[in-house]
Amino acid sequence: MLFKETALLMVVPLLFWNKVPIRKRLVLMGIILLVSISLRTAVDLLTANPSVLLTMTVRHGTSPARYIENIRQLLDVKANPVIFIDSGLLAALLLLPVSDRRVLMLKAIGVLLVLGNLLFGTIIEYRIWFEAIPLALYAIELYFFTPSAQTVRAERTANS
């Protein structure tokens, strides 16, 4: 969290930790979020950062909010389609069926990453999407190459 705000998304797996009661998971998430934000704020204050806690920008000067520019980019048919960034891995992650809790967890992190990039990033800057690569590859591996996922897919096919 001190160097990369998207590291805060790593609290999401706590929601999928089914061996621990939900109340305890939520308390742990709250503690981690509080400690992370406190440390980030302390560093920002110590370094005299003019934008304490929120080092990401939501607009450049008087231009429209970043998410408005990003939506324009998404709707521009002439632009490179952002959804196929990272060789389509982001699209694969978002479209992959849920075969188990781990795939659902990776998709949830992916959706939060996309929302964060839409709000704070310039979506045509390909480097901001690199964090989706390991999420997508792991979800694909879980879906196609784990025995439990193959069993779920076989059951769905049999029931169809």
Residues 48, 102 contacting (CB under 8 angstroms): no
Q: What is the pLDDT of residue 2?
A: 61
Residues 6+ apart with CB under 8 A from 73: 79, 82, 123, 124
State the Cα–Cα distance between residues 141 and 51, nearest whole angstrom: 40
First-to-final CA distance of the chain:
45
Contact status, residue 15 vs residue 105, Cβ threshold 8 Å:
yes
pTM of the shown model: 0.75
Helices in 22-88 by DSSP H: which ranges? 22-46, 66-75
List, for residues 71-113, the tens digit of each pLDDT value. 888 887 666 667 677 888 988 999 999 988 999 999 999 999 9
Mind listing the pLDDT tens digit for each residue in 3-61? 667 777 888 888 888 888 999 999 999 999 899 888 888 887 888 776 666 655 555 66
Q: Tell me if 107 sits within 8 A of 94, measured CB to CB.
A: yes
Q: Which residue ranges make up each domain of the chain?
A: 1-55, 58-160
101, 120 Cβ separation under 8 angstroms: no
Distance, in Å, from the CA atom of 12 to the CA atom of 96, rounded to the nearest integer, reads: 19
